[in-house]
Structure 1
Amino acid sequence: MNRQRNQRVRARLAWRVLAAVSLAAAAQAAAGAPVPFDDLGPPEPAFDYSNIVSVRQVGSGNAVSLDQAGRNGALLGQAGYGNSIVARQIGAQNWVVASQAGSGNTLNATQRGTANTLVVQQNGAGNSVDATQNGTSLSARVTQNGSNNSVNLVQGGSNTGIQVIQSGNGARATVLTH
């Protein structure tokens, strides 16, 4: 009973954090600018996108696969157990904001185009990221907190910015910009 209650509490907390961060990231992306790491912008975004997806998963197997073309936004949240997320975006002003809060974790995101923004927050267990961004005005922010960690991020293009924060356990990071 306590385990289920704790999982629900973690899921609600992760979703609130994800929502707050994503609104700020979406506002910046909508303005055509990458998310600066010290200023998350206004609290409410101007959604002017052809494709916006919001997915919230709580418990058990989890998994999301997403493929978008055009002007894209994806708000993805997972809490508990299997986790995973695969996101591909092609076009202008793409943004992915993802939160994973327990167990298997992993994310694999590819963005191609201009003004791409990626915000990932993972907390416990397997962790990993692996993101590739190609284009101009690229921005990536990754935060991982526990267990096996890892990040592998490649940005190709101009006007790029990356922030990686890892704490606890296995931590590895490879960042390449060209």
Structure 2
Amino acid sequence: MNAVTPVAVRLPNPPKSDAYARVRSQTVDAFAMLEFSVAALALRVGIVLPDRALVSQRLKALKAHEAISRLTLKQGADPLKLVDSAERLLSERADIVHSYMEIVSVEGGTIALFRNAINRAAKRPDARAYSLDALRKLCAEASGIARLIDGAKVRPASAAIPAPSPPRPLPGAAAGP
């Protein structure tokens, strides 16, 4: 339940939820860890961007850099797919970080709505809706990607393709000139 959804619900006194607030805080921290991991990896492979470069710019630079082929990740993860996964989370990150959370009662429980400040200012009704479990899952996904990036090993360029060994001399062959 994390699709962008048009919402016209306005409750006079929406319910409060400390559980949602805690998980949102953990999710924001997970995204901060992901951003740090991306920035640190970019520096480790020699990508130099301005200090204020966006995480999306760092991910794009990582994808284009030759070192992406020299990364070894835990659990045999594919570096390009991992960068794609991180990029895919950026719009959700933006909506959660740049919104205030509204807890809304729905049939069968509550959901958290996040309406990005840009959408709100433009009077667009788009909002992202999460159940508590969906928000926890997003937090775990961002944390997991950050841990995999943190654990990335970068093989030196010279170690990318090992040089072949010279052939062994045949038995009985003359040695040297």
TM range (shorter): under 0.3
Higher percent of residues as strand: 1
Pair member with larger Rg: 2
- TM-score normalised by L of structure 2: 0.28
Higher percent of residues as helix: 2
- TM-score normalised by L of structure 1: 0.27
Point out which structure has higher relative CO (alpha carbons under 8 A, 6+ apart): 2
